Amino acid sequence: TGGNSAGAAAYFTLARFSLAALLAARYTPGLFVEDDEDDNNALVQSQSTTLEETAPQTKDTNLAWKYGAELGIYMFLGYAFQAIGLQTTTASRSGFLLYLNVKLVPFFSFFLFGKTIQQSTWISALVAFAGTALLAFDNASGGTGGLVDASFAVGDLWSIAAAAASALFILRMEAASKAVPKSAELNAANLWTVAFLSLLWTAWISFNNLHTEATLVAQTLPETLTQTLEQTFQQTVNTITANPLQLIYLSAVTTALANYLQSIAQKEVSAERASIFYALDPVYGAAFANLLLGETLGLWGWVGASLIAIAAATNAVWDFSKSDEDADSNGIK
């Protein structure tokens, strides 16, 4: 049922981000202190520089946790809202609405943060939005080229909320990646935050699944907490043992590594520009579905995929052209 599917998604999210956080644990902010010297003079030098180094290190650690926690909240809400939405809407509709995230970035950037958005970025975002819509319609109609039912469900609103949370993650990543010197530490703080929030989510689900009002009256608080945590741990372990290869790939590649690379890339690329390239996600999905599952696109799907690819390509051309113009104006050859 819908409640069971949300619970399964919660335990899967906890398993995924816990494994990813463990992979990035070496870079947890404040966990390890780097040694600058390995020779016999290291102790003397450290005594003379401890006070000078402690302040900036503490500042960097605090920044990593501050921005990592904020990003982690946005990321967690994206996963949680989507899981709730899938209880009352279809996967294809939820997928399309979630891909609104990259199209919402320029709008949030303009209306919430007052940033000036270039006309080329607006055009690329709108073209990518149209392409995603066509790709989703093609998927929902089985490649026949028909349009989907236009009725609206409560789950669609949750899916839009998930897209908004994801858009805020992309948007705030730009400021976070520039403020935090070490991308690996920002990534680790982000992953630990999502893992912790996922633990609270799954504990709440376990609590509701295990206890009725009658049993709660008969049990003490420690007994209730113990059973809740045991159920959460057992369900998470069951999820890992049932999907070991999938979780290893998702945790290592699409979570720990991908988030780390994103934190590096957005040091130099604006969130608005980056969002256009992220719009290629459904195109990649359709391509791999064709290669691995034998699924094919219909007419609308091909048109939509082409529009997204064109939006990303023209966005890159405009971006490089602007960089060249800026370099020329500054006298850089």
pLDDT tier, 66 (very low <50, low <70, confident <90, very high otherwise): very high
Q: Is the pLDDT of residue 257 over 90?
A: yes
Q: Using a cut of 0.85, tell me whether the model's pTM lies above it.
A: no
Structure tokens at 153: 């469900």
SS percent in the chain: helix, strand, coil, step 5: 80, 0, 20
- Of 127-141, 194-208, 252-266, least confident by mean pLDDT is 127-141
Q: Is the pLDDT of residue 202 over 80?
A: yes
Which one, of 132, 169, 125, lies nearest residue 259 by Cα? 169
Backbone angle region of 28, left / alpha / beta, with phi > 0 → left and psi within -120 to 50 → alpha: beta
Structure tokens at 85: 């939405």
Q: How high is the pLDDT of residue 204?
A: 92
pLDDT: which is higher, 287 or 176: 176
- Of 95-104, 165-174, 187-196, least confident by mean pLDDT is 95-104
State the Cα angle at 15 between 69 and 201, rounded to 5°.
60
> Most confidently modeled of 10-14, 101-105, 222-226?
10-14
pLDDT: which is higher, 321 or 238: 238
pLDDT tier, 104 (very low <50, low <70, confident <90, very high otherwise): confident
Q: Is the pLDDT of residue 210 over 80?
A: no
Structure tokens at 311: 């939006």
Query: What value does the mean pLDDT of the chain take?
Result: 78
Q: In the chain, where do the E strands start and end?
A: none
pLDDT tens string 145-164: 444 454 567 887 898 899 89
Q: How high is the pLDDT of residue 327?
A: 43
Q: How high is the pLDDT of residue 144?
A: 47
